[in-house]
Amino acid sequence: MKNNLRTSRLLPLLLTLGLLLSLLVVPAAAWDGSSADSFDGGTGTRTDPYLISTPAQLALFRDQVNNGKSGICAKQTANLDMEMRAWNPIGLTSTGFTGIYDGSGYAIQNLNINRYSTGSSSGSGSTLYGGGLFGVVGRNGMVKHVNVGGVVSGSGSYNKNIDVGAICGGNLGTVEECFSTCTFRDFNVSISSSGWTNIGGVVGFNGGTVRNCYMVGSMDVSVQAGSGTNSVNVSGIVGKQDGSGAVLQNCYSVVSIRANSNRPCYVGGVIGLLTGGKTCDNLYTNQDLCDTLLGSGSSSKFTNSALLSTADMKSSAMVSKLGNAFAMDTGNNNQGYPVLAVMVYEEEGGWSEWFEDEVNGTAINKELFAQLTPPELKNRDLTAPITRSEFAAVAVQLYEQMGGKVYDPEGLTTPFTDTSSDAITKAYAIGITNGTSPTTFSPYNKIERQDIATMLTRVYKSLALEGWTLPTDSQFTLGSDLNSVPRFADDGDIGNYARDSVYFMVKHNVIRGVSANTFAPRNKTSSQAAIGYANATREQSIILAIRMFQKLDV
């Protein structure tokens, strides 16, 4: 046995049951322009980010970053109303932002972007001057799950070219699963320096990775530039992309663009000017508003990309094209265009009556319930089906609570190209999970019951079986007495890799069948997948984690 911490393995209680069950989305908080004195919690590390629930706390975070505190991380926990007050960007170009900001799907509303940083930041041989929610996202920096609404404007003269985007002006790191509904208006600036001015609906200049992003809005900009200015580049997603490793992937724009300049001006639906870039893949623009994907550059670098009609952009086929980070806009939150699955709209959080009865009964320790619910499921509708990414978070939370130690993702990597989730990174390193292919995890796919049993069993193995790893799994057994567990009628539908895990979890009363003799391990038909026959909900998954903690000692 690796440890026997039955009475001491609970980490310090961070949540109360009452707070956890207050699942209605918190109303946006107004801002008077000042910075807060403290955050809601956290220490600013990757595993314990600052918690931000007010605009003043966002301003405090900006101040800390811009005063030179590098690598700090934050997590947004509520909608923020910025009251249209002028915003100084996070990440001056003298430092850039090198931490992780997770918007958790909440909105930053009424953001007024009209100030642009004027320091210096070297990367890929370029100097970036950024304006946006973030000025410059530096190397190793990441901004994810952020949505921004408001106005991007500008006036006056600059002696250096500027990069402007609603999410960030310049990106050398990663921007993913973000969107903008900003209006670019009253944007009339003069530039006296040589180089490029880049204006993007999401990112001004991209030398890093931008993926799973979109813009729905309008852009009206005017730039008067000196004779040394190479070009002014305007686009609904990225103004200019350059760099041998730069990636733009799985994005779309629904944007009308009017750009005016005395210098060459390149306008595109997804990229204004492409002078380099490793990947430009799966990109779409509404041709009813903008008639080109690319303003200038090599269109041969685009793959799986197209101009589409409004009807096509709003179709289920469009969601399939974009990938599993996107979903249909069933709530009409985005004019019918695809939405990001991670985003929190004004939905009511909720849970089933059986769930409330079980939580409020005597069978569950309420502190344990709070501790085993990961941050990814806070302020969410718990009756919704759980995804592979969310269940990985549940499994990791369970692993950390059973083991009594938080697992640090710093320095860890995965082979997955479709996610940067810390929970998935930790789950992969621990051996809890692998991907749907050597390079993909499919984080937004619904997880099937046999995979839930498998992941939970691997949590147990990793903690209880000395020397166990996923590659050496075949060298370990869960006991011959598994053969005595009655077989389900659909036993033949259980994958060979999952069979022992299913019956191990059944034996210990962690997971049950959907009926007395049926387990429903996987969806075998499209009709079963459509009704979620073999899937589980978020609340069911939390209860499974609680049962495992209570019934299995490590």
Each residue's pLDDT tens digit, 35-62: 999 999 999 999 999 999 999 999 999 9
Which residues have a Cβ under 8 Å from the Cβ of 200 and sit 6 or more positions away? Answer: 164, 165, 206, 234, 235, 236, 237, 238, 239, 240, 272
What confidence tier does 3 reach under pLDDT thresholds 50, 70, 90?
very low
Look-up of token digits 């973000």: 178
Categorize the per-residue pLDDT at 346 as very low, low, confident or very high, splitting at 50, 70 and 90: low
For residue 81, list its beta bridge partners. Answer: 109
Percent of the chain scoring above 90 in pLDDT: 68
**What average pLDDT does the segment 419-441 reach?**
93
Residue 509 has what pLDDT?
94
Q: What is the average per-residue pLDDT within 240-261?
A: 94
Q: Which residues contact 201 (CB under 8 A, 6 or more apart)?
A: 165, 166, 180, 182, 184, 215, 217, 219, 235, 236, 237, 253, 255
At residue 208, does pLDDT exceed 50?
yes
DSSP 413: -
Q: Taking the mean position of all CA atoms in its chain, how far away is CA 203? A: 17
> pLDDT digit string (tens) for 500-554?
999 999 999 999 999 989 999 999 999 999 999 999 999 999 999 999 999 998 8
DSSP E strand boundaries for 298-452: 302-303, 306-308, 326-327, 339-340
Q: So what's the pLDDT on residue 377? A: 85
Closest listed residue to residue 518, CA positions, set 482, 491, 484, 483: 491
CA 428 distance to own-chain centroid:
17
Structure tokens at 23: 């699942």
57-98 pLDDT, tens digit each: 999 999 999 998 999 999 999 899 999 999 999 998 767 899
Whole-angstrom distance, CA of residue 65 vs CA of residue 69? 5
Report the Cα 142 to chain-centroid distance in Å: 10
For residue 426, give the H/E element and its range. helix 422-430
Say how far residue 537 (Cα) sits from the centre of its chain. Answer: 20
Task: Please report how the helices 449-464 and 388-403 are oriented relative to each other, as an axis angle in degrees rounded to 10.
Answer: 20
- CB-neighbour burial class of residue 288 (10 A; exposed 0-12, middle 13-18, buried 19+): middle
Tokens of 214: 């979109």
**How confident is the model at residue 228, as a pLDDT?**
77
Q: Report the percent of the chain where pLDDT is more than 70.
A: 90
Mean pLDDT over the full length of the chain = 87
CB atoms within 10 A of CB 18: 9
**pLDDT score of 277 more than 80:** no
pLDDT computed for residue 20 by the predictor? 39
For residue 223, what are its two tokens?
Answer: 């730039």
What is this structure's pTM? Answer: 0.84
Beta bridge partners of 515: none
The CA-atom distances, in angstroms, between 482 and each of 286, 305, 431, 501 are 57, 51, 22, 10
Higher pLDDT, residue 171 or 481: 171
Using the predicted structure, report yes or no on whether residue 5 has a pLDDT greater than 90: no
In the predicted structure, residue 17 carries a pLDDT above the cut 60: no
Identity of residue 315: S
Q: What is the pLDDT of residue 380?
A: 77
Name the nearest CA neighbour of 304 among 287, 288, 322.
322
In this prediction, residue 145 has a pLDDT band, given cuts at 50, 70 and 90, of: very high
Please report the pLDDT score of residue 92 as a whole number. Answer: 80
Cβ contacts of residue 145 below 8 Å, gap of 6+? 102, 103, 104, 105, 177, 178, 340, 342, 343
Per-residue confidence band for 128, with pLDDT thresholds at 50, 70 and 90: low
Provide the pLDDT for residue 7: 32
Sign for the CA dihedral angle at 207, 410, 177, 217 comes to negative
Q: Are strands 147-158 and 179-180 parallel, antiparallel or unpaired?
A: parallel
Nearest CA-CA partner of 423 in 383, 395, 385, 401: 395
132 contacts 89 by C-beta, under 8 angstroms: yes
Tell me the mean pLDDT in the region 230-259: 94
CA distance to 75, 408, 420, 431, per residue, from 42 (Å): 9, 15, 21, 27
- Determine contact, residues 435/380, Cβ cutoff 8 Å: no
Q: What's the pLDDT score for residue 4?
A: 32
- How far apart CA 433 and CA 388 sit, in angstroms, is 10
Mean pLDDT (whole number) for 341-368 = 70
Q: What is the mean predicted confidence (pLDDT) over 184-198?
A: 87
**Least confident range of 67-71, 119-123, 316-320, 418-422:** 119-123
Q: Is it the case that residue 203 has pLDDT exceeding 80?
A: yes
Decide if pLDDT at 22 tops 50.
no
pLDDT band at 6 (very low <50, low <70, confident <90, very high): very low
